[in-house]
């Protein structure tokens, strides 16, 4: 086998995997398979998108483009002309995916559990959608019938673990860790079954346990975390290392079964991870700075009060029950209170905002701020053009000045104007101001009335994020091994959006010019590169790749909302 021969590609995705865990566990000899790939291949940090959140990060991976082209900036997207939000899914991505491009060129693909692939696109091969799939009862595989086939071959198949948004008991946490281990086993079984029964040029399987468990278990493992509990180090403290060991074992099994001499393997994460220590109340901060104003005397209005109580009760009910009674109650409530539907599904308590006196609002859990812009927001008060630009400048300056009272350090280490950060046909849909924080902070955009503090240490009476102690970081991981890949080499400056062009190059396929990422030449032996130069193509696709967006059913929306809340992406 010479390095000039086009090879097949195996990608193993490890959601949220980080060297913060891999290095110490590897030093203890607990990750032999990743250690082997590191010796025999190249490795290094893989920089995520801004923001480092799974929906946009995986979209960048699969399209090789920046957010301004694929058009996704968070789990929620504004419904035009309203203050309400829909959840994104695969249809929200504008652009061709790696598996679309390969399928169109006659290559055979298998894609398992990548987030943002629901509803499944008809690829040349098999696609099983991942995060943001409503449930296994949805049509989530292409072709149909794969779920039943995997249940027969492996006993079961699971898309994700079930996490409650509130605090979990020790017994519940241990059960969650066991559930995650079982999910890893089932995923590997599914991958091996499909690898044995389907031909493939490109094979990808994604594991999410590394992300889910890191959110919940970081403090038990990390002796330096402020909320570390030494008496739980032998029980809960072992969960995260066990998950990483199970993932390393999965890597070994897939390697043994799938990697022949023509196969290049890439192992990568969509973002990194680290200890989370504090919450930042961003809409409360906007209110204190005068950018956002709450309605006066809302609570004095009995009708409003009744509606709010109903909303709260209904929220609790749908959290706990999935019964026909709840559906009936929801149908009745939606019929009687037309505004309720939006209120239920909006993550922010926007019903309390006086839009006639509000210039800006924050959305999501990262640091994204939007202006209340005339012509875009239904009750926008900021005039587009000079006034808006001046306001953005002022907001950016204020946001850079927002400091952690304990350390004096800025909460956001970088602050951008959205349209400077992103480029492409969807750049105008970007947040107007983008604050980038480290894993130490979690942004809360609901709940601005229960206190005055902006930066709050975890554990101090926080409801929404109290049960999480790990958070995303920009620095993900990359491992690569195969024909022509340098051995024992640390790659620099690799970005997630570079992976699609890199994989195309590995398969000796030309790279579409629309891609913003570049093939990571640093991974390859110079003589391999010289023998097989990178090729580009300006091939045109007919019509927009993005199909019409389906209306999500209420049941699907609620399933997604509940799952995202459990993962800590909604507050
Ligand atoms: Zn996560």
Among 96-105, 152-161, 433-442, 531-540, the least confident range:
531-540
- Judged by phi (left if over 0) then psi (alpha if -120 to 50, else beta), residue 336 lies in alpha
Mean pLDDT of 404-432: 96
Nearest to 355 by CA among 336, 330, 374: 374
Position with higher pLDDT, 331 vs 92: 92
Q: Ligand 1 mean position to 504 CA, how many Å? A: 28
User: Residue 297 — very low, low, confident or very high, per pLDDT cuts 50/70/90?
Assistant: low
Q: Ligand 1 mean position to 470 CA, how many Å? A: 9
**In this structure, what token pair is assigned to residue 367?**
């640091």
Position with higher pLDDT, 121 vs 330: 121
Q: Ligand 1 mean position to 215 CA, how many Å? A: 6
Q: Ligand 1 mean position to 472 CA, how many Å? A: 6
Q: Ligand 1 mean position to 442 CA, how many Å? A: 11
Q: Ligand 1 mean position to 213 CA, how many Å? A: 9
Strand, coil or helix: what is 472? strand
Position with higher pLDDT, 542 vs 477: 477
pLDDT above 50: residue 287: yes
CATH code for position 262: 3.40.720.10
Strand, coil or helix: what is 228? coil
Q: Ligand 1 mean position to 52 CA, how many Å? A: 9
pLDDT above 90: residue 407: yes
- Residue given tokens 């086009």 in the structure block: 6
Q: Ligand 1 mean position to 265 CA, how many Å? A: 24
Q: Ligand 1 mean position to 560 CA, how many Å? A: 15
Q: Ligand 1 mean position to 566 CA, how many Å? A: 10
486 and 435, same structural domain?
no
411 and 533, same structural domain?
no
Q: How confident is the prediction for the chain on average, in pLDDT?
A: 87
- Confidence (pTM): 0.89
Mean pLDDT of 224-232: 94
45 and 158, same structural domain?
yes
**Alpha-helix residue ranges (DSSP H) falling in 466-537:** 499-506, 526-531
318 occurs within a structural domain: no
Quick: pLDDT tens for 366-401: 999 999 999 999 999 999 999 999 999 999 999 999
How many Cα neighbours within 13 Å face the side chain of 455?
A: 19
CA separation for the pair 47, 428 (Å, rounded): 24
Strand, coil or helix: what is 284? helix
146 and 212, same structural domain?
yes
56 occurs within a structural domain: yes
DSSP result, 308-323: HHHHHHHHHHHHH--S
Q: Ligand 1 mean position to 464 CA, how many Å? A: 15
CATH code for position 443: 3.30.1360
Q: Ligand 1 mean position to 431 CA, how many Å? A: 21
Q: Ligand 1 mean position to 562 CA, how many Å? A: 15
Those residues with Cβ within 8 angstroms of residue 142's Cβ, 6 or more apart along the chain or in another chain: 120, 121, 122, 123, 126, 127
> What pairing do the DSSP bridges indicate for beta strands 8-14 and 202-207?
parallel
Q: Supply the range of the domain harboring residue 429.
A: 278-294+353-457
Domain count within the chain: 2
44 occurs within a structural domain: yes
Strand, coil or helix: what is 560? helix
226 and 137, same structural domain?
yes
């Amino acid at each position: 086998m010479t390095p000039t021969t086009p090879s097949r590609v195996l990608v193993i995705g490890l959601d949220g995997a980080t060297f913060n865990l891999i290095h110490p566990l590897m030093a203890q000899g607990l990750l032999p398979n990743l250690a082997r790939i590191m010796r025999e291949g190249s490795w290094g940090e893989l920089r995520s998108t801004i923001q480092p959140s799974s929906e946009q990060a995986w979209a960048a991976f699969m399209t090789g483009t920046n957010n301004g082209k694929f058009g996704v900036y968070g789990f929620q997207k504004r419904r035009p002309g309203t203050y309400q939000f829909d959840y994104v899914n695969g249809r929200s991505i504008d652009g061709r995916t790696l598996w679309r491009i390969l399928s169109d060129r006659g290559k055979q693909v298998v894609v398992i559990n990548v987030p943002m692939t629901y509803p499944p696109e008809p690829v040349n091969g098999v696609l099983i959608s991942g995060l943001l799939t409503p449930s296994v009862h949805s049509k989530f595989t292409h072709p149909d019938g794969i779920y039943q086939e995997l249940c027969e071959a492996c006993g079961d198949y699971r898309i994700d673990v079930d996490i409650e948004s509130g605090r979990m008991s020790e017994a519940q946490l241990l059960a969650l860790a066991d559930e995650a281990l079982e999910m890893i086993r089932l995923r590997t079984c599914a991958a091996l079954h499909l690898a044995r029964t389907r031909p493939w040029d490109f094979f990808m399987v994604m594991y999410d346990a590394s992300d889910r468990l890191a959110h919940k278990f970081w403090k038990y493992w990390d002796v330096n975390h402020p909320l570390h509990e030494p008496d739980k180090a032998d029980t809960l403290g072992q969960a995260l290392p066990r998950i990483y060991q199970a993932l390393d074992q999965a890597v070994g099994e897939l390697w043994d079964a799938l990697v022949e001499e023509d196969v290049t393997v890439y192992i990568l994460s969509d973002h990194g991870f680290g200890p989370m220590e504090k919450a930042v109340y961003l809409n409360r901060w906007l209110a204190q700075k005068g950018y956002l104003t709450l309605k006066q005397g809302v609570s004095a209005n009995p009708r409003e009060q009744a509606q709010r109580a109903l909303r709260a009760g209904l929220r609790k009910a749908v959290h706990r029950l999935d019964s026909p009674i709840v559906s009936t109650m929801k149908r009745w409530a939606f019929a009687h209170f037309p505004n309720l539907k939006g209120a239920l599904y909006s993550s922010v308590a926007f019903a309390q905002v006086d839009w006639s006196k509000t210039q800006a609002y924050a959305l999501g859990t990262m640091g994204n701020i939007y202006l209340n812009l005339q012509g875009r927001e239904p009750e926008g008060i900021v005039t587009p053009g000079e006034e808006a630009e001046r306001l953005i400048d002022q907001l950016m300056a204020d946001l850079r000045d927002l400091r952690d009272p304990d350390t004096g350090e800025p909460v956001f280490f970088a602050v951008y104007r959205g349209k400077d950060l992103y480029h492409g046909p969807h750049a105008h849909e970007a947040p107007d101001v983008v604050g980038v924080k480290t894993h130490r902070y979690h942004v809360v955009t609901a709940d601005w009335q229960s206190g005055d503090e902006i930066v709050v240490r975890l554990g101090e009476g926080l409801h929404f994020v109290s049960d999480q102690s790990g958070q995303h970081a920009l620095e993900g991981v990359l491992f690569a091994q195969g024909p022509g890949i340098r051995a024992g080499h640390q790659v620099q400056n690799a970005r997630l959006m570079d992976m699609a062009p890199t994989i195309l190059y590995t398969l000796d396929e030309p790279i579409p010019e629309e891609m913003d990422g570049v093939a990571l030449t640093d991974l390859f032996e110079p003589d391999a590169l010289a023998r097989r130069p990178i090729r580009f193509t300006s091939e045109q696709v007919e019509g927009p790749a993005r199909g019409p967006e389906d209306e999500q059913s209420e049941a699907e929306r609620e399933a997604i909302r509940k799952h995202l809340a459990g993962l800590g992406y909604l507050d």
